[in-house]
Amino acid sequence: MVAMRREPLRDQTPVTDQTPPKTPDHPLLKLPPWPHVDFAQWGPVDAQPLSRIQKLVAAAMARNWVSIPHVTHNDEADISALTPARRALSQASGVKITPLPYLVKAAVVALKAQPKFNASLDAAGNNLVYKQYYNIGIAVDTPAGLLVPVIHNADSKSIPEIATELAELSEMARTKGLPMDRMSGGCFSISSLGSIGGTSFTPIINAPEVAILGVSKSYEKPVRVDGELAWRDMLPLSLSYDHRVINGADAARFCVDFASALSQPEQLSD
Ligand code: CAO
């Protein structure tokens, strides 16, 4: 997953260039050339040009995937208390609230507890830059391609404020695109496929961030609580991290902190 940080995004002019995609230019990669295949030899085909956004996203994805040593840590969060809490807050605030704003706030809690996740390597790879602000990017699926608007200073915003901002940003992203300032400055990203399905996936880190949390669809599972089996609502988490910066134990701790914050949703709405 990527945010496009330097290129204009409103231009969705179809790209007509037929040049095959280049393999990433990196001295360690000795990749064979991209296969040239005439697909029409086996049956009818319909070639659709990629939009400029799709091409930019593809290039950044390929760069991030080959240049960052990714590891994905899988875990689950018990969110049984979240549904009643968010329904009550929706009713009280008059704002539709999905689980996502709570995930943003829980991410802030975990980032504060595990500051390495809120850091970036500088371009030369000599310094780890710890950020003291909490800007959370959210992957939004749009007809033109994947965009990552950023909720700036999520730590100082309430759940209904985040829900409102997210609704505005995702609507803007889907209808007219987003200005660069709404996609810049992210510290950590969340990619939620929870409204669609899945049990886990490997999200691609949005450089220069060092981690991204993928969230799949919550499901009910029997869990032993105080010696008794109880049905609990579980949220699958897939945390991809840059193994140059973050170790497996850090990732396990991050998920524990994140899940712990989500299990007490009232504290996130304060
Ligand atoms: N488990 C179960 N249900 C979930 C859920 C989860 N983890 N997350 C959301 N839902 C439910 C919501 O509660 C809502 O149901 P109700 O209306 O009954 O409350 C429903 O799914 C629809 O949610 P939504 O998609 O409208 O809103 P959201 O806040 O969850 O997500 C957005 C907003 C913009 C992130 C989403 O629309 C989107 O674009 N998702 C795709 C992101 C993506 O493509 N990621 C992959 C990137 S890598 O290729």
Instruction: Indicate the pairing of strand 211-215 with strand 188-192.
Output: parallel
Mean pLDDT of 177-200: 96
Ligand 1, residue 191: give the atom nearest the CA: 45
Cross-strand partners of 221: 232
Mean pLDDT of 55-69: 94
- Ligand 1 near 163 CB (within 6 A): no
Token output for 68: 């960052």
| Residues 139-177 pLDDT 10s | 999 988 899 999 999 999 999 999 999 999 999 999 988
- How far apart CA 206 and CA 185 sit, in angstroms, is 11
Q: What is residue 6's predicted lDDT score, i.e. its pLDDT?
A: 41
- For CA atoms 259, 265, 266, 267, the dihedral sign is positive
Share the mean pLDDT of the chain.
91
Rounded to the nearest angstrom, the gap between the alpha carbon of residue 245 and the centroid of all alpha carbons in its chain is: 18
pLDDT of 108 over the 50 cut: yes
Mean pLDDT of 237-252: 98
Nearest CA to ligand 1 atom 48: 1
Q: What is residue 40's predicted lDDT score, i.e. its pLDDT?
A: 98
Mean pLDDT of 52-59: 91
Mean pLDDT of 181-202: 97
Q: How confident is the model at residue 24 (pLDDT cuts 50, 70, 90)?
A: low
Q: What is residue 7's predicted lDDT score, i.e. its pLDDT?
A: 40
The full set of domains in the chain, from first to last, is: 72-268 (3.30.559.10)
Cross-strand partners of 190: 138, 213
Nearest CA to ligand 1 atom 32: 140
Distance 193 CA to ligand 1 centre (A): 6
- For CA atoms 255, 258, 261, 262, the dihedral sign is negative
Which amino acid type is present at position 75? D
Cross-strand partners of 77: 235
Nearest CA to ligand 1 atom 20: 195
pLDDT of 8 over the 60 cut: no
Q: What is residue 12's predicted lDDT score, i.e. its pLDDT?
A: 41
| Residues 66-105 pLDDT 10s | 999 999 999 999 999 999 999 999 999 999 999 999 999 9
- For CA atoms 176, 178, 179, 182, the dihedral sign is positive
Q: How confident is the model at residue 18 (pLDDT cuts 50, 70, 90)?
A: very low
Annotated catalytic residue 243: yes
Among residues 247, 265, 211, the alpha carbon closest in space to that of 100 is found at 265
Q: How confident is the model at residue 25 (pLDDT cuts 50, 70, 90)?
A: low
DSSP H helical segments within 40-99, as ranges?
52-67, 82-93
pLDDT of 28 over the 70 cut: no
pLDDT of 32 over the 90 cut: no
In the chain, what percentage of residues exceed pLDDT 70? 89
pLDDT of 127 over the 50 cut: yes
